[in-house]
């Protein structure tokens, strides 16, 4: 059976056909590695855990755009390159493995662009996609709220029709909005019709909000290490013109959930602490069997997850929606990201410290401070397990 939902049972399986990367994709890998070597030589790439959250370099994003490595799968008429997802997979896994600073464009390239391609108007696509593919236009995601995270359908930010102004007035508060202060646009999920009995998923809509906009206030929520990544975003009667509605009013839930396979299946869900593992391998004592076994187990798990993630990229190319395998990748992958930290602590005589001269101690310190987010962002592991159980017909 395939991972597609079966008509008869309404359940999915986790079996996806194996994928072999075509020679052109491997040729592309060589080009990306050469580019990475050049960027490393210039000092642009410094190994650090969680590069897709904390590695921020607008010039680097623009250089990737110039190389044609953003919007790779999108149509050429919108600045894309019409390549298969497998080519994109090769580029992003190389960039992540090298800990390149990809944080500014990550969400835009992975999620917001495909969302506009699927549901955006022709005007929105022509206006925004070329800049996204060039690595000069950045989007952020306005879904979570102070009392709505896992239970996203309970969002309380409202969109109210303003006929006279030809648009919608947004009121409410979003939290944990990654990079809102560095983005040009936010895709906001809000309630445009009151909660109806039994219809929690109805009456939600998506809007593109320009940043800055009158009535929009963005304030920092700092990470444990003091970095400014997250924000609280308050909407006080923010006017969004009709031309910035994504898809159909009232269809926001279906639109948001269709992004999930893109959001959850990529190699960023198991490579966040690879720089730490690489550092551990670099200093490991080849005669220490305990270290060798621990590292071997981690590498075997990484390789398995990579294969599954690759198969999902293949499924996306075939137009499938492999939500359940994507949830598996994210659950197992983020668990492994944390395990790399635990194993390092147990097999290496090192104390985490951001200020240490020892690269392993520094990397461990960084990874520890970023680790609380791994299993939360993009849907918590408890929620993912519920999705997997439901997908397999066990719930």
Ligand X SMILES: Cc1cc2nc3c(=O)[nH]c(=O)nc-3n(C[C@H](O)[C@H](O)[C@H](O)COP(=O)(O)OP(=O)(O)OC[C@H]3O[C@@H](n4cnc5c(N)ncnc54)[C@H](O)[C@@H]3O)c2cc1C
Taking the least distance from each CB to ligand X, the nearer of 192 and 272 is 272
Residues 6+ apart with CB under 8 A from 348: 280, 283, 284, 291, 360
Q: Which residue is nearest to ligand X (CB)?
A: 149
Taking the least distance from each CB to ligand X, the nearer of 221 and 283 is 221
Taking the least distance from each CB to ligand X, the nearer of 114 and 373 is 373
Q: Minimum distance between the CB of residue 178 and ligand X, rounded to whole angstroms?
A: 3
For 212, phi then psi, to 5°, come to -80, 165
The percent of the chain in helix, strand and coil, each rounded to the nearest 5, is 50, 15, 35
Taking the least distance from each CB to ligand X, the nearer of 78 and 139 is 139
218: β partners: 233
Contact of 318 with 17, CB cutoff 8 Å: no
Q: Round to whole Å and give the CA distance between 290 and 302.
A: 19
Q: Which of left, alpha, beta for 325 (phi over 0: left; psi -120 to 50: alpha)?
A: alpha
Q: In 284-322, which residue ranges form alpha helices assigned H by DSSP?
A: 289-317
Taking the least distance from each CB to ligand X, the nearer of 25 and 376 is 376
Taking the least distance from each CB to ligand X, the nearer of 34 and 382 is 382
Answer whether the bond into residue 212 is a cis peptide, omega within 30°.
yes
Q: Minimum distance between the CB of residue 318 and ligand X, rounded to whole angstroms?
A: 28
Place of tokens 């009535």: 215
Could you tell me the CA-to-CA distances from 52 to 92, 95, 336, 341, 361 in Å, in that order?
Answer: 10, 9, 17, 18, 21
Taking the least distance from each CB to ligand X, the nearer of 32 and 186 is 186
Q: Minimum distance between the CB of residue 148 and ligand X, rounded to whole angstroms?
A: 7
Q: Minimum distance between the CB of residue 333 and ligand X, rounded to whole angstroms?
A: 15
For 92, phi then psi, to 5°, come to -75, -30
Q: Minimum distance between the CB of residue 288 and ligand X, rounded to whole angstroms?
A: 34
Q: Minimum distance between the CB of residue 390 and ligand X, rounded to whole angstroms?
A: 12
The site for ligand X (CB under 6 A) is made up of 53, 140-144, 149-150, 176-178, 373, 376-377, 379-380, 382-383, 386
Q: Minimum distance between the CB of residue 146 and ligand X, rounded to whole angstroms?
A: 8
Contact of 276 with 364, CB cutoff 8 Å: yes
């Amino acid at each position: 059976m395939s991972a597609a939902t079966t008509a008869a049972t309404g359940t999915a399986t986790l079996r996806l056909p194996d994928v072999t990367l075509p020679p052109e994709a491997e040729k592309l890998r060589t080009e990306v590695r050469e580019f990475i070597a050049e960027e490393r030589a210039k000092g642009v790439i410094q190994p650090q855990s969680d590069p897709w959250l904390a590695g921020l370099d607008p010039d680097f994003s623009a250089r990737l755009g110039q190389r044609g490595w953003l919007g790779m799968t999108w149509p050429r008429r919108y600045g894309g390159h019409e390549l298969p997802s497998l080519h994109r997979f090769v580029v992003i896994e190389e960039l992540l493995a090298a800990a390149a600073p990809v944080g500014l464009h990550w969400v835009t390239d992975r999620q917001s662009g495909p969302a506009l391609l699927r549901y955006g108007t022709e005007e929105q696509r022509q206006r925004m996609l070329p800049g996204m593919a060039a690595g000069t236009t950045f989007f952020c995601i306005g879904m979570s709220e102070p009392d709505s995270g896992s239970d996203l359908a309970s969002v309380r930010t409202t969109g109210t029709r303003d006929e006279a102004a030809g648009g919608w007035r947004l009121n409410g508060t979003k939290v944990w909005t990654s990079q809102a202060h560095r983005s040009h646009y936010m895709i906001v999920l809000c309630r445009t019709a009151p909660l109806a009995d039994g219809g929690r998923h109805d009456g939600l809509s998506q809007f593109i909000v320009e940043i800055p906009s009158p009535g929009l206030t963005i304030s920092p929520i700092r990470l444990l290490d003091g970095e400014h990544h997250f924000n609280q975003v308050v909407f006080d009667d923010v006017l969004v013109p009709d031309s910035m509605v994504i898809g159909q009013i009232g269809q926001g839930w279906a639109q948001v959930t269709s992004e999930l396979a893109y959001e959850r299946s990529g190699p960023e869900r198991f490579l966040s602490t690879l720089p730490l593992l690489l550092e551990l391998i670099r200093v490991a004592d080849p005669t220490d069997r305990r270290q060798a076994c621990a590292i071997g187990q981690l590498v075997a798990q990484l390789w398995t997850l990579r294969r599954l993630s690759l198969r999902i990229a293949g499924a996306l190319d075939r137009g499938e929606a492999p939500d359940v395998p994507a949830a598996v990748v994210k659950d197992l992958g983020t668990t492994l990201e944390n395990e790399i930290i635990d194993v390092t602590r147990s097999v290496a005589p090192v104390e985490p410290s951001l200020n240490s001269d020892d690269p392993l101690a520094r990397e461990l310190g960084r990874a520890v401070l970023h680790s609380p987010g791994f299993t939360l962002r993009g849907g918590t592991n408890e929620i993912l397990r519920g999705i997997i159980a439901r997908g397999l017909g066990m719930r």
